[in-house]
Amino acid sequence: MLLAVFWVGGLALLVVLSILVAGGVLEFYKMQVHKGLQPWSIPGVVASVIWCIAVYYFGVSELAVPLAVLLVAIIATGAAREGSTLANVESTLMGVLYVAVLGSFAIQVRAGSFPDYTPGETAAFAVLILLAIWISDIFGYFAGRAFGRHHPFPDISPGKTVAGYIGGVVGSVALILAVAEIYAFLDRTDGIVLGILVGLGAPAGDLVESMIKRDAGVKDASQIIPGHGGILDRFDSFLFVFPIVYVYISFVQTV
């Protein structure tokens, strides 16, 4: 279903992504509550959905000023004493940044904001990146099971291994290179670089979410998806990969 939504794009993607973002932000806030904070859940969810709508209509680049304000506010409140009002404000703003701002880059990538791509190529590209994230996770899992010995982050994510990270990169590079051989809008250099970025960005997103869960003292973000945990557990890679891909494609098309 998600692949079809990415292919269609437009309002369908905005609605689905807004629902996922709202759910992910609520999961983030529940984890903050578990560690003793009291984030402002409703304002945070509303702000997150508004952010996604703004990105849909105006684009990420047009929201540089409010993003800068958000970052300054997080920095200003980040040193507050735990349990204080400022600490609750900081956790509220962090939820918006972590889930909504990062997640909204998927809208930007799918919106056809790259002048070198036709609408059809933009749709294919967005779907390809989503597939590459999943392939990276699959290859990483099986490579880790088969060859994993060294665990670089045992205190954060003990199940992750160096072999798993390498397998994830190999899988994403192989998929995107294969597509680059078929479709002219990607060349081999782009295929290799994007594959590496996806292969590195996906586990980075997983590690960050693992750090958040460990800090909150929980195993899963929630139990909304039986057998898989919560929305953040399933889309943590998604949150990091699309911003990285957007920055890379924007850079390539301006040089």
The residue assigned the tokens 């943590």 is 236
Q: Which of 64, 79, 111 is the last residue of a domain?
A: 111
State residue 243's pLDDT score. 95
Tally of domains in the chain: 2
Q: 107 vs 28, 59, 122, 140, CA distance in Å?
A: 21, 9, 11, 26
Indicate if 98 and 122 belong to the same structural domain.
no
pLDDT, average across residues 15-25? 96
Indicate if 40 and 5 belong to the same structural domain.
yes
Residue 229: strand, helix, or coil: strand
Indicate if 185 and 202 belong to the same structural domain.
yes
- Per-residue pLDDT of 60-115, as tens digits, reads 888 989 999 999 989 888 766 776 788 899 999 999 999 999 999 999 999 866 66
Indicate if 127 and 201 belong to the same structural domain.
yes
Indicate if 9 and 128 belong to the same structural domain.
no
CA distance 17 to 21: 6
Indicate if 190 and 150 belong to the same structural domain.
yes
Indicate if 185 and 210 belong to the same structural domain.
yes
Q: Is residue 252 predicted with pLDDT exceeding 80?
A: no
Backbone angles phi, psi at 225, to 5 degrees: -110, 105
Indicate if 127 and 247 belong to the same structural domain.
yes
Indicate if 166 and 100 belong to the same structural domain.
no
Provide the whole-model pTM: 0.90
State residue 219's pLDDT score. 84
Indicate if 252 and 216 belong to the same structural domain.
yes
Indicate if 90 and 162 belong to the same structural domain.
no
Q: Which of 80, 111, 142 is the last residue of a domain?
A: 111
Q: Which range marks the domain in which residue 246 is found?
A: 117-255
Question: Contact 132/172 with Cβ under 8 angstroms?
Answer: yes
Q: Which of 86, 111, 136 is the last residue of a domain?
A: 111
DSSP calls for 48-117: HHHHHHHHHHH-SGGGHHHHHHHHHHHHHHTTSPTTSHHHHHHHHHHHIIIIIIHHHHHHHHHTT--TTS
Indicate if 129 and 218 belong to the same structural domain.
yes
Q: Is residue 237 predicted with pLDDT exceeding 80?
A: yes
Q: pLDDT tier at 17 (50, 70, 90 boundaries)?
A: very high
- Per-residue pLDDT of 212-222, as tens digits, reads 988 888 887 87
**Rounded (5°) CA angle 57-176-237:** 60
Q: Is residue 116 predicted with pLDDT exceeding 80?
A: no
